[in-house]
Amino acid sequence: MKLKLDISGVDFVDSELIDFYDSKTIFFEVPNFLSETVSFKIWGAELDENFNWNEHSDISKFSKIEKESRNGEKRFVIQGFSKITFEKVIAAKIEVSPYDKGEFIRLKNREIQTFKREWNMDKVTDKCFEYWFDGVSIYFPYGACDLKFYTKGKVWFEFNPADCVGFINYISNPNKEKTHFGYLKNLEQLND
């Protein structure tokens, strides 16, 4: 069972509802032309402490969430793929600084190599809402990513609550191949 949430107007940088910052990996394929509707997968998104489970689902259907909530956990990480969809996209921009063996790729002058792309930035008005993925990783080319969308439409976030684990359990798990890099064993799910 997947939940589909309307997160239109949520400030991704300062939200107490949902978090895409730090150690989240996005599977955004940089297009030549920007579509009006943009969707992509995310691994490791967080549901912050102000996320109200009872508003969206019967928490008793998810024993792991119910148990961790009773034990005081208020933040959850989606240890799986979620999907975000932006409607009525007006503009976007992206900066990617690729990694090689855990280090940034550097130019001859030792500056970090950064690739930048912008779409329709001249069309951004005060009627657009800015959605900023700050401090995420991008799958390809693998690296640090700063991504902004400017839209006039809805934003939808879909995830499977069965993939949620408590924040403390997620970050303290020494098996990073299961948590932070768990997507490497689940890439076939990108086409779902």
CA distance linking residue 35 with residue 90, whole number of Å: 9
| CA distances from residue 78 to 25, 47, 106, 136, 182 in whole angstroms, order as listed | 12, 8, 33, 15, 11
Mean confidence (pLDDT) of the chain = 88
Report pLDDT for 23: 62
- Residue at 192 is within a domain: no
Q: What pLDDT, in 10s, does the model give residues 122-132?
A: 999 999 999 99
Inter-residue contact 103 to 121 (CB < 8 Å): no
Query: In terms of Cα–Cα distance, which of 171, 172, 115 is closest to 147?
Result: 115
Residue 21 belongs to what domain range? 3-186
pLDDT digits (tens, 9 = 90+) for 17-72: 888 876 688 999 999 999 999 999 999 999 887 787 777 777 677 777 777 777 77
Residue 152 lies in a domain: yes
Asked whether the beta carbons of 99 and 105 are under 8 A apart, the reply is yes
Q: 């024993």: which residue's tokens?
A: 63
In a domain, 50, yes or no: yes
The 10 Å CB-count burial string (b at 16+, else e) for 101-130 is eeeeeeeeeeeeeeeeeebeeeeeeeebbe
The answer to whether position 141 is within a domain reads yes
Give the pLDDT score at 129. 97
117 domain-assigned: yes
Give the chain's domain count.
Answer: 1
